[in-house]
Amino acid sequence: MATDHVVGIDLGTTNSLVAFMQGDTPVVIPGEDGLNLLPSVVALDAKNQPVIGNAGRNSLIETPERAVYSIKRLMGRGMEDIQEELKFFPFRLAEDLQPGEVLRIKLGDKTFTPPEISALILRQLKRSAERFFGGPVTKAVITVPAYFNDAQRQATKDAGRIAGLEVLRLVNEPTAASLAYGLDQKQNGIVAVYDLGGGTFDISILKLHDGIFEVIATNGDTHLGGDDIDNLLITIALDDIRGDLGVDLRRNPEAVQAIRKAVIEAKIALSSQRSVKLDIELPGGKHYRREITLEQFEQLILPVIDRTVGPCKQAMKDARLQPEQIDEVVLVGGSTRIPKVHALVKDLFRREPHIDLNPDEVVALGAAVQANILGGSEATQNMLLLDVTPLSLGIEVAGGVTDKIILRNSTIPASARQFYTTQVDGQANVAIHVLQGERELAKDCRSLARFDLKGIPPMAAGIPRVEVKFLIDANGILRVSAREQRSGKEAEIQVQPSYGLTDEQVEGMILDSFDNAEEDFRRRQVIEARNEAATILAALEKGKKSPAWGQLTTDEKKQIAKMEKALVAAKAEDHYQAIRKAIDALNQGTTRLAELMMDTAVSSALKGKNMDETDLGEGPTAPHPMAKAEFE
């Protein structure tokens, strides 16, 4: 189907993008405002309608209690592991949040889970793509930080589903970037990708071999990025203001957001100039002014960017490589525009890093390449990505110890088998605790899920032999299956994800059902279907006058008349599916008529329609009817 576009999406902490392969070149699809970057900001307007991107950014300052940014920091996390986040980010948690529950964030007086907020961003990108293609987009490749754990990956996949997207693959961001770079540089060698974004840091080391992109080692920190630099600058400004003016603005969200906006601009300016002057108007009309020199800035951020050194060294150690053995270093992520970061990478790998492609866009471009690979297209025929799992997978064993069964940096898909037995006679259930992480004790690792093996046939203690198979799929997400070997019975597995939504919850969140834009789209579908129905009915009228009509049996004519009547009736109603079905039925029913008319001029109208059912009626340049409201 020509309309079946698979897009590549970079769902970033600060900005998000959507891209696709145009021929053999990946390109970013701009939003309605003509910009490639969609700020990952979600706000609710006065009518409780979601506003995404730049429009939402204004809301951050005007009505900060109705807006949220950097939601990626909360994906797949529980209340107990976001305490640091809460100190620096204005996330407003729902008051009735229970421990162990998926987080809910307040926007105005409504609450949303992080996957739902991410889904609103994804839906905005989906609309941009649909406007661009002039047709629905339902399939996507979405990128995630390489160091994302299972829960964070699952949350991202859930977000896609909520947005009405089938997520064909989650791709690691640095790996995606290497795909974009590797597209026109058909060379072999070792490449390191250093990806410092708004909120996450990844380092991946790859071996390029005749189109195979094999990740050898990856490491990172899913809570390290430009956000942390912003927070340092905000803290300084707030301290200054309290000292000089005697007012504490920490509890004034509007003022904090105004300061945040100003320091981000200052940070960006310092990538190209020696000093910058801050001038912020405070509530009450006073101004906060301060000059920041490049030296001061660099000294300030050193502790933050130094945190990237450890993961880089670990990745090199895991890859068993010295810096000299790395052929190329590629910079990805907006924060790599900071000259000091550039210098740090140069120092660490002892070579000049590459920045040929726009570091804000390269991940989305790579996602589009991967989408193309999955589509089996010629442009990427020879390319294959072999990625790894960033964290070891383990099982809790006696004494609270983690027994690692799949080591970090194992190529995925990867699997491991474990055998379990019972401890008392007739025991029917065995509990399994799955962990992710490198630490020796279970309590220091990330709890992924608790599984209950159920329905083990009654046997004496120690006799059952339950084989549990753990499989990490190509998305880096765990699957578990079990079989009792003595009886050959499939053991039932009950999964309780430690952090995350159940299938039912995701199902209930899917945006389409109450989405106005989707409603618009459906309305348009109905109109188009009616036009198509009119065309085929007109063609049938002509067909009835042709000599071929006489060659049909009475029964056939009767059938066609019945279907014609059904289509006329359906056409009068508002149900796209009903019209569609009636069109298809009539198309089917008139196949023989069309065949008989093959020689006549009229046949093309009927037969043509028969062969072109997926035609949406408008070319890619046609204006898309939806997504207008959000950028006013």
Partner 1 sequence: MTAKSSLTAIAAKPLPEDTHSCWSCGSMRAAHFCESCGKVQPPVPVDYFTFFGLSPKLNLDVVALEKDFYDLSRRLHPDLNARAGSREQEWSLEQSSLLNDAYRTLRDPIKRTEYLLHLEGVALEEQSKNATEQARVTGEIKKQIVPPDLLEEVFELNMELEELRMNQKMGEDDPALIAEIGKQKLALEAKHDALFEELQTHWKAWDSLIDPSRQPNEELAGERTQVIGNIVDVLNRRNYIRNLVRDVNAALEN
Q: Which residues are catalytic?
A: 10, 72, 173, 195
Q: How far is the CB of 414 from partner 1 (least distance, A)?
A: 5
Stretch that binds partner 1, among 75-83, 234-242, 403-411, 490-498 (CB under 8 A): 403-411
Contact with partner 1 (CB under 8 A): which of 117, 125, 412, 466? 412
Please state, in angstroms and rounded to a whole number, the distance separating the CA atoms of residues 98 and 46. 29
Residue 210 interacts with partner 1 (CB under 8 A)? yes
- Paired with 554 in beta bridges are none
Residue 166 interacts with partner 1 (CB under 8 A)? no
Contact with partner 1 (CB under 8 A): which of 169, 223, 607, 609? 169
Contact with partner 1 (CB under 8 A): which of 252, 314, 358, 410? 410
When the beta carbons of 301 and 365 are compared against partner 1, the nearer one is 365
Q: Are 426 and 458 in contact (CB under 8 A)?
A: yes
- Which residue blocks in 134-207 are alpha helix, DSSP H? 150-162, 173-182
Q: How far is the CB of 401 from partner 1 (least distance, A)?
A: 5
Q: State the burial class of residue 491 (Cβ atoms within 10 Å of its Cβ: 0-12, 13-18, 19+).
A: buried
Q: How far is the CB of 254 from partner 1 (least distance, A)?
A: 47
Q: How far is the CB of 474 from partner 1 (least distance, A)?
A: 5
Q: How far is the CB of 385 from partner 1 (least distance, A)?
A: 7
What is residue 483's DSSP assignment?
E
Contact with partner 1 (CB under 8 A): which of 30, 323, 413, 620? 413
Q: How far, in whole angstroms, is CA 189 from its chain's centroid?
A: 29
Near partner 1 in 452-511, by CB under 8 A: 471-474
When the beta carbons of 196 and 395 are compared against partner 1, the nearer one is 395
- DSSP assignment of 68-96, as one string? EE-GGGGTT--GGG-HHHHHHS---B-TT
Residue 2 interacts with partner 1 (CB under 8 A)? no
Q: How far is the CB of 421 from partner 1 (least distance, A)?
A: 15
Stretch that binds partner 1, among 31-39, 145-153, 186-194, 414-422 (CB under 8 A): 414-422
Buried b / exposed e along 375-411 (16+ C-beta atoms within 10 A): beeebbeebebbbbbbbbbbbbeeeeebebbbbbbee
What is residue 50's DSSP assignment?
E
**Per-residue string for binding with partner 1, 126-165, x by CB under 8 A?**
----------------------------------------
Residue 568 interacts with partner 1 (CB under 8 A)? no
Q: How far is the CB of 392 from partner 1 (least distance, A)?
A: 13
- Give the containing element (helix H, strand E) for 310: helix 309-318
Contact with partner 1 (CB under 8 A): which of 168, 190, 247, 477? 168
When the beta carbons of 168 and 309 are compared against partner 1, the nearer one is 168
| CA dist list (Å): 207 to 179, 192, 566 | 12, 9, 61
Please state, in angstroms and rounded to a whole number, the distance separating the CA atoms of residues 566 and 578. 10
Contacts 24+ apart (CB under 8 A), 232-240: 232/300, 232/301, 232/304, 233/263, 233/266, 233/267, 233/292, 233/300, 234/259, 234/260, 234/263, 236/300, 237/262, 237/263, 237/278, 237/280, 237/288, 237/290, 240/288, 240/290
Query: Are β-strands 166-172 and 139-144 bridged in parallel, bridged antiparallel, or unpaired?
Result: parallel
Near partner 1 in 430-449, by CB under 8 A: 440-441
Near partner 1 in 336-375, by CB under 8 A: 370, 373-375
Residues within the interface to partner 1 (CB under 8 A): 168-169, 209-210, 212, 370, 373-376, 384-386, 397-401, 403, 410-416, 440-441, 471-474
